[in-house]
């Protein structure tokens, strides 16, 4: 047996032992929340957003819930799944966290599934968006989004607005394939045709050859998905290649026009229309407060849906602990997440009691200039969208 395999078995045994009924985690007067975030590496922007969101929630709501003190234990997985897995084990076994959260990419969330199942510790997904993740462990709950949920509305909008042919270009991994499949299915049901489905590698992508291919195909629309931290790089190349000037409509879920990067894209993206659960310009009192305080606390950084995920992830944890009267035993705590509903900076959201996945409004938005900045201005809404099964 290899050393790695032996270590894994030993660690798993520890995890299981630590989760026995009456284990210290449930009795502690502190509720420890382990956040596993990519704080360095190519996904660092997502880690920074989540952490800022989580901290802002605590600044707004205090650091006690159900009479217990809440303590964040923050770890950097650098965006590497082996690190996510190792950190999850450490947080559960050594730090005795009641719940873990974060996960900046789909493979990072998937890596902790077997651990949380065995240890019976809930994990709150604040970014990862591949549809199937939550179904891989009864201890997952998601407050972020799924790609099919966020993509189908733009397929409907594109079809209703006269687009008949499309090319899709996505990152070649779970959420990209989900976006591509969901888009093609709905767009073609409605009479459109996806003429080509292009996939760029997730790591260090070079988009130019794919964009040139899309340009040569002259579709009505180009549907894009990349994880939010790659948005600036992708859109710079889209603008450099002149696709928009050529009359190709850029559409997709909002990740490729991420709010954090939007201003730097410049006026070339004015009018680009996408579907997404959140805009920094979402018109509500809670969101105005959220955006203002987030910017104040983070050197004027604009929050995106990932920052909102950090904020709502903590909200969900507070609500579940409260509902459970401070008892943080995993099997009881995961039950308490089911059916929660609350107002998020994005609008009303809830946790589906059957699937533990998020139910939320998906807005159609167009880039406009407002108060001297570029914003996604919401103008239509698909209400209470589940992850389509
Ligand atoms: C994911 O890896 O699931 C993911 C990451 C960033 C996004 C969307 C999906 O913006």
Judge whether residue 25 has pLDDT over 60.
Answer: no
pLDDT score, position 189: 98
128 with 203, same domain: the answer is no
CA of 73 to the centre of ligand 1 (A): 23
218 with 366, same domain: the answer is yes
Q: Angle 258-81-355 (CA atoms, 0-180°, nearest 5)?
A: 70
Q: Whose alpha carbon is nearest atom 6 of ligand 1?
A: 227
Would residue 281 count as lying in a domain?
A: no
pLDDT score, position 348: 98
Yes or no: say if 380 and 294 are a contact pair by the CB < 8 Å rule: no
Mean pLDDT of 288-297: 98
CA-258 nearest atom, ligand 1: 10
229 with 257, same domain: the answer is yes
CA of 110 to the centre of ligand 1 (A): 13
| Cα dist from 215 to 68, 211, 367, whole Å | 57, 6, 22
Q: Which helix (H) or strand (E) holds 314?
A: helix 305-323
CA-108 nearest atom, ligand 1: 2
pLDDT score, position 306: 98
CA of 260 to the centre of ligand 1 (A): 14
CA of 267 to the centre of ligand 1 (A): 25
**Could you give the CA distance from residue 327 to residue 97 in angstroms, rounded to a whole number?**
13
Q: How many domains does the chain have?
A: 2
Per-residue DSSP letter, 133:
G
| Substitution site in 45, 50, 80, 105 for ligand 1 pocket (most atoms within 8 Å of beta carbon) | 105
**Could you give the CA distance from residue 239 to residue 242 in angstroms, rounded to a whole number?**
5
The pLDDT > 70 percentage for the chain reads: 93
Secondary structure of residue 128 in the 3-state scheme:
coil
Residue 180: closest CA among 142, 150, 211, 209: 150
pLDDT score, position 84: 98
**What is the pairing mode between strands 30-37 and 99-102?**
parallel
What CATH number is attached to the domain comprising 341?
Answer: 3.40.50.2300
222 with 295, same domain: the answer is no
Would residue 113 count as lying in a domain?
A: yes
Q: Say which residue, 222 or 18, is predicted with more confidence.
A: 222
Q: Which residues contact 174 (CB under 8 A, 6 or more apart)?
A: 106, 107, 130, 132, 133
Mean pLDDT of 165-194: 98
How do residues 348-381 score in pLDDT, each as one tens digit? 999 999 999 999 999 999 999 999 999 999 999 9
Yes or no: say if 350 and 142 are a contact pair by the CB < 8 Å rule: no
**What is the pairing mode between strands 64-65 and 273-276?**
unpaired
316 with 378, same domain: the answer is no
90 with 128, same domain: the answer is yes
Residues with CB under 6 A from ligand 1: 105-106, 127-130, 175, 227-228, 255
CA of 106 to the centre of ligand 1 (A): 6
Judge whether residue 383 has pLDDT over 60.
Answer: yes
Q: Whose alpha carbon is nearest atom 9 of ligand 1?
A: 129
CA of 258 to the centre of ligand 1 (A): 11
Would residue 152 count as lying in a domain?
A: yes
pLDDT score, position 303: 98
DSSP assignments along 229-284, one per residue: GGHHHHHHHHHHTTTTTTTPEEESBGGGG-HHHHHHH-GGGTT-EEEES--TT--S
How do residues 229-287 score in pLDDT, each as one tens digit? 999 999 999 999 999 999 999 999 999 999 999 999 999 999 999 999 999 999 999 99
How do residues 106-127 score in pLDDT, each as one tens digit? 999 999 999 999 999 999 999 9
Judge whether residue 6 has pLDDT over 50.
Answer: no
pLDDT score, position 3: 47
CA of 205 to the centre of ligand 1 (A): 15
Judge whether residue 94 has pLDDT over 60.
Answer: yes
Q: Say which residue, 303 or 10, is predicted with more confidence.
A: 303
DSSP assignments along 4-28, one per residue: HHHHHHHHHHHHHHHTSTT-HHHH-
CA of 78 to the centre of ligand 1 (A): 15
Would residue 64 count as lying in a domain?
A: yes
Residue whose tokens read 């084990």: 89
pTM of the full structure: 0.93
Q: Say which residue, 224 or 8, is predicted with more confidence.
A: 224
CA-173 nearest atom, ligand 1: 2
pLDDT score, position 27: 52
Mean pLDDT of 89-97: 98
**Could you give the CA distance from residue 355 to residue 152 in angstroms, rounded to a whole number?**
19
Residue 314: closest CA among 280, 356, 342: 342
**Could you give the CA distance from residue 178 to residue 132 in angstroms, rounded to a whole number?**
9
**Could you give the CA distance from residue 54 to residue 58 in angstroms, rounded to a whole number?**
7
Judge whether residue 210 has pLDDT over 50.
Answer: yes
179 with 258, same domain: the answer is yes
pLDDT score, position 389: 75
Estimate the crossing angle of helix 81-93 against helix 106-119, to 10 degrees.
30
| Cα dist from 367 to 86, 221, 342, 377, whole Å | 41, 16, 27, 6
Judge whether residue 205 has pLDDT over 60.
Answer: yes
Q: Say which residue, 120 or 9, is predicted with more confidence.
A: 120
11 with 78, same domain: the answer is yes
**Could you give the CA distance from residue 321 to residue 122 in angstroms, rounded to a whole number?**
12
Residue whose tokens read 């939007």: 262
252 with 294, same domain: the answer is no
How do residues 42-91 score in pLDDT, each as one tens digit? 999 999 999 999 999 999 999 999 999 999 999 999 999 999 999 999 99
Mean pLDDT of 195-214: 97
How do residues 124-161 score in pLDDT, each as one tens digit? 999 999 999 999 999 999 999 999 999 999 999 999 99
266 with 290, same domain: the answer is no
Domain range for 313: 3-145+286-356
177 with 141, same domain: the answer is no
CA-129 nearest atom, ligand 1: 3
47 with 118, same domain: the answer is yes
Would residue 237 count as lying in a domain?
A: yes
Burial class (CB in 10 A: 0-12, 13-18, 19+), 344: buried
């Amino acid at each position: 047996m290899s050393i790695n395999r032996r270590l894994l078995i030993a660690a798993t045994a520890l995890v299981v032992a630590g989760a026995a009924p009456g284990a210290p985690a449930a009795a502690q007067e502190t509720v420890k929340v382990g956040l596993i975030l990519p704080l360095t590496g190519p996904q660092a922007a997502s880690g920074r957003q989540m952490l800022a969101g989580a901290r802002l929630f605590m600044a707004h709501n205090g650091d006690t819930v159900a009479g217990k003190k809440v303590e964040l234990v923050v770890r950097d997985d650098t965006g590497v799944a082996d690190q996510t897995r190792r950190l999850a084990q450490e947080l559960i076994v050594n730090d005795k966290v009641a719940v873990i959260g974060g996960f900046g990419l789909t493979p990072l969330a998937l890596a902790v599934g077997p651990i949380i199942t065995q240890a019976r510790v809930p994990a709150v997904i604040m970014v990862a968006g591949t549809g199937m993740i939550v179904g891989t462990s009864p201890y997952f709950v998601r407050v972020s989004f799924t790609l099919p949920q966020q993509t189908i509305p733009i397929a409907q909008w594109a079809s209703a607005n006269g687009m008949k042919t499309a090319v899709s270009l996505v990152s070649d991994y779970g959420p990209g394939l989900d976006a591509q499949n969901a888009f093609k299915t709905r767009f073609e049901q409605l009479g459109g045709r996806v003429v080509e489905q292009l996939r760029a590698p997730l790591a260090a992508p070079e988009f130019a050859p794919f964009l040139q291919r899309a340009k040569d195909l002259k579709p009505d629309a180009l549907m894009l998905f990349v994880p939010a931290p790659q948005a600036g790089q992708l859109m710079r190349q889209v603008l450099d290649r002149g696709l928009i000037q050529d009359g190709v409509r850029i559409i997709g879920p909002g990740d490729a026009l991420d709010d954090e990067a939007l201003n730097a894209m410049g006026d070339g993206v004015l009018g680009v229309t996408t579907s997404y659960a959140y805009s920094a310009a979402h018109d509500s009192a809670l969101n105005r407060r959220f955006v203002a305080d987030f910017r104040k606390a983070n050197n004027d950084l604009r929050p995106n849906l990932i920052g909102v995920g950090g904020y709502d992830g903590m909200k969900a944890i507070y609500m579940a602990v409260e509902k459970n009267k401070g008892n943080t035993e995993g099997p009881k705590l995961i039950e308490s997440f089911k059916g929660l509903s609350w107002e998020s900076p994005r609008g009303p959201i809830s946790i589906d009691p059957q699937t533990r996945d998020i139910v939320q409004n998906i807005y159609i938005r167009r880039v406009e200039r407002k108060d001297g900045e570029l914003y996604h201005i919401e103008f239509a809404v698909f209400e209470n969208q589940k992850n389509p099964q």
